[in-house]
Amino acid sequence: MPRRRLLNTAMGVGLSLGLAVLPLAAAHAWEARVEGMKNHWERLITEQPEGQRGDGLKALAGQAERLVAEHPEAAVPLVWQGIIEASWARERSGLGALSSAKSARKALERAVELDPQGHNGSAYVTLGALYDRVPGGLMGFGDSETAEQMFDEALSIRPDGIDVNFYYAAFLEEEGRLDEAREHARRAVEGEARPDRQASDEALRDEALALQQRL
């Protein structure tokens, strides 16, 4: 093979390999950014008391918004934007809390359009908690029937999840369905923590145990 042809062939192979690697590298960078946000969120939730997480969650919400803007068709960044905004809503009050809750709902509903499993049910758990806790009426969107539908979706995907069983148990307690609440609190206490959410799941297990004892 002539030298020029050999060089052209080598350059073509290198270029094709480079083009194949670029999306993979971008995906790895995307995953690393989500992992960083998740780890920061877990530290805030498990190490900082409520009422002192606002600045950290606000900064994380900005990071999540930027990541979603860069990858609008990726479900996982949307799920984490929803989780972070929902956590920030709990730290805020008045219209600020409602604004964060609405942002969370929008992100999570878009996420389940892209991924019907909702990132292993996580989107549905957070949507259920939002519909449960946000006021209804003209200003809010809270609705107990929709909350239960979201929890049912999450349970169909991950029936032994600590998070879904704890939040569903809390919802059932509010609804006065105490026998069902006890059952789901028990499932939360006995559930298996996710390897990538170990700290936050174990914190929820402790809350589920306290709920179980109260019930």
Residues 71-129 have pLDDT tens digits of 999 999 999 999 999 999 999 988 889 999 999 999 999 999 999 999 999 999 999 99
So what's the pLDDT on residue 187? 97
Residue 8 pLDDT greater than 70, yes or no:
no
Residues 57-81 have pLDDT tens digits of 999 999 999 999 999 999 999 999 9
Across the range 190-195, mean pLDDT stands at: 93
On whether the CB atoms of residues 106 and 123 are closer than 8 A, the answer is no
For residue 22, give Cα distances in angstroms to 15, 35, 165, 191. 11, 20, 40, 40
Examine residue 13 and state whether it is found in any structural domain, yes or no. no
Examine residue 72 and state whether it is found in any structural domain, yes or no. yes
Q: Is the dihedral of CA 7, 10, 16, 19 positive or negative?
A: negative
On whether the CB atoms of residues 194 and 201 are closer than 8 A, the answer is yes
Examine residue 139 and state whether it is found in any structural domain, yes or no. yes
* % of the chain at pLDDT higher than 70: 86
Q: How many domains, the chain?
A: 2
The domain that holds 42 is classified in CATH as 1.25.40.10
Question: What pLDDT band is residue 53 in, cutting at 50, 70 and 90?
Answer: very high
Residues 139-172 have pLDDT tens digits of 789 999 999 999 999 999 999 999 999 999 999 9
Q: Tell me the pTM.
A: 0.85
199 and 135 in a single domain? The answer is: no
71 and 163 in a single domain? The answer is: no
Query: What secondary structure does DSSP assign to 26-46, as a single string?
Result: HHHHHHHHHHHHHHHHHHHHH
So what's the pLDDT on residue 93? 83
Q: Which domain holds residue 165?
A: 159-215
Examine residue 16 and state whether it is found in any structural domain, yes or no. no
Q: Which of 138, 107, 134 is nearest to 123 (CA)?
A: 107
Examine residue 9 and state whether it is found in any structural domain, yes or no. no
d(CA 125, CA 115): 14
d(CA 163, CA 187): 10
DSSP-H helix ranges across the chain: 3-47, 54-70, 75-91, 94-114, 122-133, 144-157, 162-174, 178-190, 198-214
